[in-house]
Copies of this chain bind each other. A is one copy, B any other.
Amino acid sequence: VKKRTTIKDVAEYTGVSTATVSYVLNGKVSENISESTINRVMAACKQLNYIPNLSARSLSLSSKRSNLVGIVIPQTEDGEEFMFDNPYYGEFLSRAEYIARKKGYDVLISGRDANRSYLNIATQRGLDGIVIIGIYPDDNISELKYLGLPIVMCDSYGIGSYFNCVGTNDRYAGYMATKYLLDKGHKRVALVSGQEKVDGVNYYRFIGYKDALEEHNIEFDERIVYEGYIDHKYGIEAGKKIIDANLGVTAVFATADILAVGVMKGMQEEGIKIPEEISIIGFDDIYLASICTPSLTTVRQHIGEKGSTVMELLLDAIEDEPTSKRDIIIPVDIVERNSVKEIK
């Protein structure tokens, strides 16, 4: 209920004008301010507990910074309600927020919302830039282009060549994962993934899966690809289905760890031993992969690094305006743990 201290209060207290206060606060060396004034203003700020109002600042002379960036996070695929059930996003956000904070930016988060465009959120809040994770077919990206706001897309496909991107070579990674299984002697490798149509990431991992099969002269069999949702529940379901279907599957590639762990669980509940009877490889390397039993062999995509890279790229784009479009592919590797067995 306290009236906040404004620059005006500081000015009056010091006996100078608001302009002068503003100068010293912003370190405008161009304007030559005397030592003594600077000290007096500083003292007054301390004294009065002055905290600048960033909304006001971002308003004054247009094109001023707000020091606010947005991160838009996907919802789970089946609804609007949750976004962080997959710890992937938590790990990502953790690093991204840290980078932003250290450079003096605050972070606004938002789930995707059908009723509110990216443009809307960016404009309303005067965001300096925005990170968009994943991409949906109905996203209106072009209006963002029009806005001229620094944007970094993460794990997004099919958005043309306009925006900065950070991502993974998902096709190659999918290939690697599948090949790893094949090289271990498996011939019947099932795929468990999210909606391939909806999500570029899953689609390309799927293509990579096919690449590997083809390379090994193994016929693609649609009956052993399970396409559902990226969550633990669906993993369990898929695991059970695979067992019930009894189509000779000896290994499965799940396109997300959270899915892979579910598959393991589902199979274990059916009395299957992993990796003795069925091998599983995941994708992401969330910390969960090292925790579960057996620990999960998976494609590590350095989530934390992805988060920090995304934010660094965004802040770069914000601070030195004329950067050319950049693409960064974060390399992946396979972490061998205990969920895959060599056969034959």
Given the known interface contacts A82-B94, A113-B101, A293-B292, the answer about A106 and B125 at a Cβ–Cβ threshold of 8 Å is: yes
Contact indicator per residue, chain A 208-237, by CB within 8 Å of chain B (1) or not (0): 000000000000000000000000100000
Give the distance in Å from the alpha carbon of A87 to the alpha carbon of B53 in the complex. Answer: 33
Give the distance in Å from the alpha carbon of A115 to the alpha carbon of B125 in the complex. Answer: 24
**Cβ of A98: which chain B residues have Cβ within 8 Å of it?**
80-83, 111
A-B contact pairs, 9 of them (CB 8 A): A4-B123, A51-B124, A53-B59, A54-B125, A85-B94, A106-B125, A107-B109, A108-B108, A265-B291
Contact call A106/B110, Cβ cutoff below 8 A: yes
**Cβ of A119: which chain B residues have Cβ within 8 Å of it?**
51
Contact call A2/B82, Cβ cutoff below 8 A: no
Partner of A53, one of B1, B4, B106, B124: B124
A268 within 8 A of B: yes
**Cβ of A199: which chain B residues have Cβ within 8 Å of it?**
none
Contact call A126/B55, Cβ cutoff below 8 A: yes
Contact indicator per residue, chain A 135-159, by CB within 8 Å of chain B (1) or not (0): 0000000000011100000000000
A41 within 8 A of B: no
A207 within 8 A of B: no
Shortest distance from the beta carbon of A249 to any chain B beta carbon, whole Å: 21
**Cβ of A188: which chain B residues have Cβ within 8 Å of it?**
none
Interface residues of A in 227-279 (CB under 8 A from B): 232, 261-262, 265, 268
Q: Which residues in A have some Cβ–Cβ distance to B below 8 Å?
A: 1-4, 51-56, 58-59, 62, 66, 68, 80-85, 87, 89-91, 93-95, 97-98, 101, 106-111, 113, 119-121, 123-126, 146-148, 232, 261-262, 265, 268, 287-288, 291-293
Contact call A97/B109, Cβ cutoff below 8 A: yes
Give the distance in Å from the alpha carbon of A91 to the alpha carbon of B82 in the complex. Answer: 8
**Cβ of A93: which chain B residues have Cβ within 8 Å of it?**
84, 109
**Cβ of A110: which chain B residues have Cβ within 8 Å of it?**
97, 101, 106-107
A291 and chain B: residue at smallest CB distance: B261
Give the distance in Å from the alpha carbon of A53 to the alpha carbon of B121 in the complex. Answer: 10
Contact call B51/A55, Cβ cutoff below 8 A: no
Give the distance in Å from the alpha carbon of A59 to the alpha carbon of B6 in the complex. Answer: 12
**Cβ of A89: which chain B residues have Cβ within 8 Å of it?**
90
Contact call A97/B125, Cβ cutoff below 8 A: no
**Cβ of A265: which chain B residues have Cβ within 8 Å of it?**
291, 293
